[in-house]
Structure 1
C-alpha cells in the first residue's frame, strides 16, 4: 500500500518532517518500501514513541484517504526498534537501510528507488516540505522546514567527507549485490514495474520471519552484555519502585529512564549517572499487507528508555 508514487512520497515526507520538528528527533536515514519503513534516528529528548505515533498515524490516515479505504493500515504490533550501541552497529544499519531496495531485487542501485528516502546527500541541508493535497486540513502548516542530520560518532569528519565515505560503502554494497544476482541468475524488477504494482496486490506466500528480535546491536560482546544488564537492572528497579508507589509511598524515586509515568504522574526520577547507552536507534514498521522482505531486519522492541 506504500508502493511508490508522488502521493505517498509527499505524505511520508510531510508526516516525518512534522513529527521530527515537533519532538526534536534527528533523522539520519529513511527508506520507504512498498510495505514497510526503515528509519534511523537520534532521540535527544526521549520523545520517539510520540514521534512514531504521530508519523505513523498521519501516514496511515492520509494514505487510506488516498486509496479510498478505511481498514487497518499498519500491522497490529508495536514498531520494531533496536538501539545501536557503537559506530560499527550504526554503520551496518545505515547501509542495511539504504540497500533495502536493491537487496530485495527491486532496483539495481540505491538512487534508482522511486520511493521516499533520506540519503547521505541530504544531511545538514534544510528543506521545505509542502503539505500534500490529501487528508491534512487547514490547521496543519502549508510547509514544514526539516533538516536531516548526519549520524553521531563521526565528529572527526566533515559532512562532505562523511557523505563520500558512505557513498563508497553503498557502492561496494551495490557491487556485491550485482555479483550475487549474476551468480544466482536473479533479475531486478525495475522501476517501471515497481511503479506499476497494484497497491492492493498481495504476495502468494508469507515471508519467513526471524524469531530473533534483539533490543541492542553491537558486535562488541562486552558492550552488548553491559547494555542488556543495564536495561534489565532498570526494569527490576522500576518494578520495585512502582510497587512501593502503588502501596502509597509517593516519595519513591524511580530510575532515570522512566518516561511515560514521569510525564503523566507527579513522580520523581533519579538523575542520570552517565549518558544512555546507544548512539542512535533503528526502527521498522510494516503495513498489513505482508510482503517478502529482503532479509529479517536485526531489530527489536524497546518499551522503556
Structure 2
C-alpha cells in the first residue's frame, strides 16, 4: 500500500507539478497563459480552493492556496488534466504533459513565517533561474500580491475549448490568512517590499557570479519541445509539512504518524469486509471513491497558525526542503 495522502479542511499548502522529462511544454505564450488562467479559475470554482499565489514556469507550475474543503486533489486533477488536453492539442501531441514518475508535490504550511518564505520562493522562481530581473517581468501566467482581492473575468480560450464549456469565470485571488490586523494595502506593500529586497539580493549574487539574465525575448524564443541541457539534480521528496517554529512541525508529524497507523488498521478491517469502519479525518482516496465514513474535523488539527506566539528558542525548521 502506498503512503496515503492526508488532506484536512482549511490547510494552507504549496503545490508543485513538473512536466515530463522537464520539457518546456508550459513555456510562456498566449496559448498557455490563457489556458492556465481558465483552468485555474474553473478548477478553483469547482473545488472551492482559494489561490494566493501562482507561477507557471516553462517546465513546472507552483501554486500556494488555502483548501477550505480538503479538495485540492480535485483542483490539481482537473487543472492539470485541462493543461494536458489543451496543450497537447496545441502541440499536436499525445501522452502525459506531466511527469508520470511522481505525482504533484503537496506541502502543508504551518505558520505565517514559512508561508512568506514559500510564497516569495514561488514568485521569485523566474528571477532565481536567471530568466528575468523582476518577478513582475515574467511573461508567463502568475498571481502576485498586487492581484489580491481583484476580480478577474477569465474568458474561455478561443483554441481547443468547445461551446459546452462555460464562457467565463470570475476568479478572485485572495490575500493570505493571518494578516487580519493589516489592511489589504499594508499586506500587499509588505510582500512587495520583501520581494524587492529578495530580487536585489539575487541581482548582487548574479553580478558576483558574472551571470546575466536571459530576458523576456530569450524566454519566448525557447523551443517548448526542448528541455534543459543540464540534467536536473535529483531531489528528495518534498516534505509533507513545513514550519518556521519547531513545535508546530513536531505536532504535525505526530498527527501524521497517528493518522497512518489508524488508517492502516481501519483499512485492513474494511478490506476484510467488516462493518462500522470509520476512517480517520484526512482520508482522501477512499472518501472520494468508496462509500466510507470518516471522523469529523479536529479543531486542533495542524494548520497555518496565524496567532502562534513562538518561544525564544524556536528557529526555522523544514524550510530548506521547500525549494524544489
* TM-score scaled by length of structure 1: 0.89
Aligned match for 1:266, one of 277, 284, 291: 291
Q: Distance in 2 between matches of 1:71 and 1:217?
A: 33
Q: Does the 8 A contact of 1:108 with 1:188 survive in 2?
A: yes
| Equivalent in the alignment of 1:17 | 41
Aligned match for 2:106, one of 77, 81, 84: 81
SS for the counterpart of 1:242 is helix
1:40 aligns with 2:64: yes
For structure 1, the 5+ residue unaligned runs are 281-295, 301-305
| Equivalent in the alignment of 1:57 | 81
Deviates more, 1:223-232 or 1:68-77: 68-77
Structure 1 residue 252: Cα displacement:
2.5
1:163 aligns with 2:149: no
| Equivalent in the alignment of 1:122 | 147
Structure 1 residue 275: Cα displacement:
4.3
Structure 1 residue 205: Cα displacement:
2.6
SS for the counterpart of 2:322 is coil
For these two proteins, the number of residue pairs brought into alignment is 285
1:279-302 deviation line (CA, Å, top 9, x unaligned): 39xxxxxxxxxxxxxxx96179xx
Structure 1 residue 60: Cα displacement:
1.1
| Equivalent in the alignment of 1:239 | 264
Structure 1 residues 112 and 256: CA distance shift in structure 2, 3 A: same
Q: Distance in 1 between matches of 2:217 and 2:273?
A: 64
For structure 2, the 5+ residue unaligned runs are 1-24, 306-319
Which 4+ stretches in 1 moved above 6 angstroms?
A: none
Question: Over the residues paired in the alignment, what is the CA RMSD in angstroms?
Answer: 1.7
Q: Distance in 1 between matches of 2:77 and 2:304?
A: 22
1:32-88 deviation line (CA, Å, top 9, x unaligned): 100000000111111111110000000111011111211321110210110001001
Q: Does the 8 A contact of 1:13 with 1:129 survive in 2?
A: yes
Q: Distance in 1 between matches of 2:175 and 2:302?
A: 19
Structure 1 residue 212: Cα displacement:
4.9
Superposition map of 1:141-156 within 5 A: 141-156=166-181
* TM-score scaled by length of structure 2: 0.84
| Equivalent in the alignment of 1:203 | 228
1:75-108 deviation line (CA, Å, top 9, x unaligned): 1021011000100110000000000000000000
1:6 aligns with 2:30: yes
| Equivalent in the alignment of 1:137 | 162
Q: Distance in 2 between matches of 1:175 and 1:90?
A: 21
SS for the counterpart of 1:82 is strand
Larger relative contact order (Cα-Cα within 8 Å, sequence gap ≥ 6): 1
Q: Distance in 1 between matches of 2:218 and 2:287?
A: 49
Deviates more, 1:85-94 or 1:255-264: 255-264
Structure 1 residues 227 and 60: CA distance shift in structure 2, 3 A: same
1:185-229 deviation line (CA, Å, top 9, x unaligned): 110000111111111122223111222521111122221111011
Structure 1 residues 243 and 212: CA distance shift in structure 2, 3 A: closer
